[in-house]
């Protein structure tokens, strides 16, 4: 299980005593002699512990740093030479506070979940397909650098014959992966000299990123079978003897909403149908959550064009280098484009979380 289930024992995100008590209960279960005799329960307990520790450990480290600074301040009153030691300790405490603050900002119902990420090219032809693949590699690096896992057997990738990819869906597994990756939802714009062109003309390309929470199995979402339309197709492959000629790929369309999902990662059509249905449920659940919040942004199979005027972020390589967030209220930019494309999205993710938290607080005070 990749999320902490709703429980009165866990309290709100800032209920540190409640979360500490919940962790103690789970650790007590983990120490029971027959703990590993029930694999599914054990997996659930370990998953919940990971999520709780992702919040509590930064808090505990911050608390220790504050206690150390207090002790240093008391010593400095008696011996001024201790003041020199306080500066690096204070800088470290500030970093620890920032880490805890960011974790605490992810207070959404499913922010603690793993993430299901999809990338599709938009306007720009082969350049856009190449751009989608560049983004895929960048997110892989970001995930690896932050200790997340991307299961290779769950990467659903459709290559483009001339270069790049037609689409890719993959999971980023670990506590709060969705909380961080939700900042990436939207259209990403690239400006560069095309490696596929004959001249030195700048090319603008677009790719859309969609992110969903990987919902736990204990969340019940009822869908009428009559509302579903199933399609089956060849899963594709590299060609030759490895070409998959069977109709193992599965696509499901929710007829009332038009929301769709597909899977081609497994050789089994039955398994792909399960994967596609789970992804569809995640999309429908996220859509309903957005409706409740009065923020219905249809980025799932959006009918809006993935092109000019719709981007959330621009990446410019020519005639200058700059990455800039285009969303209102988020003023973040950097000339270090290659650092970002090597997975350094932190400044943009952090700015989005702060902006989202500020907006939520404004709503609460009205």
Same structural domain, 34 and 101: yes
97 with 128, same domain? no
CATH number reported for the structural domain that contains residue 28 in this entry: 1.20.58.410
Whether 234 and 326 map to the same domain: the answer is: yes
Compute φ and ψ for 175, nearest 5 degrees: -60, 130
Position 66 scores a pLDDT of 87
Q: Is residue 199 part of a domain?
A: yes
Question: pLDDT value at position 142?
Answer: 97
Q: Please state, in angstroms and rounded to a whole number, the distance separating the CA atoms of residues 47 and 300.
A: 28
Same domain, 222 and 356: yes
- Please tell me whether residues 71 and 135 are part of one structural domain: no
| pLDDT recorded at residue 196 | 84
> Could you say which of 45, 77, 105 is where a domain stops?
105
Shared domain for 74 and 201, answered yes or no, is: no
In the chain, how many domains are there? 2
Indicate if 74 and 138 belong to the same structural domain.
Answer: no
Residue 4 lies in a domain: no
Asked if 119 and 152 sit in the same domain, the reply is yes
Tell me: do 53 and 176 sit in the same domain. Answer: no
- Residue 9 in any domain: the answer is no
First to last CA, the chain: 36
* b/e map 289-326, b = 16+ CB within 10 Å: eeeeeeeeeebbbeeeebbeebbbbbbbbeeeeebbbb
pLDDT (tens digit, 0 to 9) for every residue of the chain, 366 residues total?
Answer: 344 333 323 333 467 888 889 889 888 988 898 888 888 888 888 878 888 887 888 888 888 888 888 888 888 888 887 788 888 888 888 888 887 888 778 877 788 889 999 999 998 899 999 999 999 999 999 999 999 999 998 888 999 988 999 999 999 999 899 999 999 999 999 999 988 876 678 899 999 999 998 887 666 777 888 888 888 887 654 444 444 556 788 888 998 888 888 888 788 888 888 888 888 888 887 777 666 555 434 444 443 466 666 789 999 998 899 999 999 899 999 999 999 999 999 999 999 999 988 877 665 555
The pLDDT value given to residue 245: 54
Shared-domain flag, residues 92 and 209: no
**Residue 216: inside a domain, yes or no?**
yes
Distance of CA 198 to CAs 80, 170, 194, Å? 68, 34, 8
Both structure tokens of 142: 């970001």
Return the CATH number at 309: 3.30.70.1660
Is 221 within 8 Å of 281 (Cβ atoms)?
yes
| Ramachandran quadrant class, 236 (left: phi over 0; alpha: psi -120 to 50; beta: rest) | left
Tell me the two tokens of residue 246: 């069977």
* Model confidence, pTM: 0.74
In a domain, 11, yes or no: no
* Torsion (CA) 360, 147, 22, 283 in degrees, nearest 10: 50
Same domain, yes or no: 284 and 247: yes
Residue 182 placed within a domain: yes
Residue 252's SS3 state is: strand
- CA-nearest of 352, 282, 53, 279 to 176 is 53
The pLDDT score that the predictor gives to residue 240 is 42
Query: 113: phi > 0 → left, psi -120 to 50 → alpha, else beta; which?
Result: beta
Among residues 105, 132, 153, which one ends one of the domains? 105
**CA nearest neighbour of 168 among 232, 262, 307:** 262
Query: Which one, of 265, 357, 351, lies nearest residue 312 by Cα?
Result: 351
Are 123 and 20 found together in one domain?
no
265: in domain = yes
Is residue 7 in a domain?
no
- The rounded radius of gyration (Å) of the Cα atoms in the chain is 23
Q: Please give the residue range of the domain that contains residue 36.
A: 16-105
Last residue in a domain, options 68, 84, 105:
105
CB of 189 within 8 A of CB of 313? Answer: yes
């Amino acid at each position: 299980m990749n999320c902490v289930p709703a429980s009165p024992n866990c309290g709100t995100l800032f209920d540190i005593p409640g979360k500490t008590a919940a962790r103690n209960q789970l650790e007590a279960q983990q120490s029971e002699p027959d703990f590993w005799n029930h694999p599914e329960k054990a997996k659930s307990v370990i998953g919940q512990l990971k999520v709780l520790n992702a919040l509590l450990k930064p808090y505990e480290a911050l608390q220790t740093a504050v206690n150390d600074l207090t002790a240093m301040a008391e010593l400095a009153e008696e011996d001024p030479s201790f003041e020199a030691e306080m500066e690096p300790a204070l800088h470290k405490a500030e970093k620890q506070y920032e880490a805890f603050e960011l974790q605490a900002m992810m207070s959404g119902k499913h922010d603690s979940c793993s993430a299901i990420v999809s990338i599709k090219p938009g306007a720009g032809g082969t350049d856009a397909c190449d751009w989608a693949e560049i983004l895929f590699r960048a997110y892989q690096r970001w995930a690896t650098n932050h200790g997340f896992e991307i299961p290779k057997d769950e990467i659903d990738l459709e290559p483009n014959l001339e270069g790049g990819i037609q689409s890719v869906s993959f999971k980023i597994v670990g506590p709060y992966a969705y909380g961080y990756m939700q900042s990436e939802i939207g259209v990403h714009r690239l400006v560069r000299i095309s490696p596929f062109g004959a001249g030195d003309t700048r090319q603008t390309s677009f790719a859309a990123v969609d992110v969903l929470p990987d919902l736990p199995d204990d969340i019940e979402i009822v869908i009428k079978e009559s509302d579903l339309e199933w399609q089956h197709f060849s899963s594709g492959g590299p060609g030759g003897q490895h070409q998959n000629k069977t109709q193992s790929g599965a696509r499901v369309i929710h007829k009332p909403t038009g929301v769709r999902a597909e899977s081609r990662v497994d050789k089994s059509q039955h398994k792909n149908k399960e994967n596609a249905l789970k992804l569809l449920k995640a999309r429908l659940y996220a859509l309903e959550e957005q409706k409740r919040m009065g923020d219905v942004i249809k980025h799932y199979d959006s009918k809006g064009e993935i092109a000019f005027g719709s981007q959330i972020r621009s990446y410019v390589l020519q005639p200058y280098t700059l990455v800039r967030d285009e969303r209102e209220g988020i003023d973040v930019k950097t000339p270090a484009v290659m650092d970002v494309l090597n997975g350094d999205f932190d400044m943009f993710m952090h700015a989005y979380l702060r902006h989202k938290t500020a907006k939520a607080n404004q709503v609460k005070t009205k």
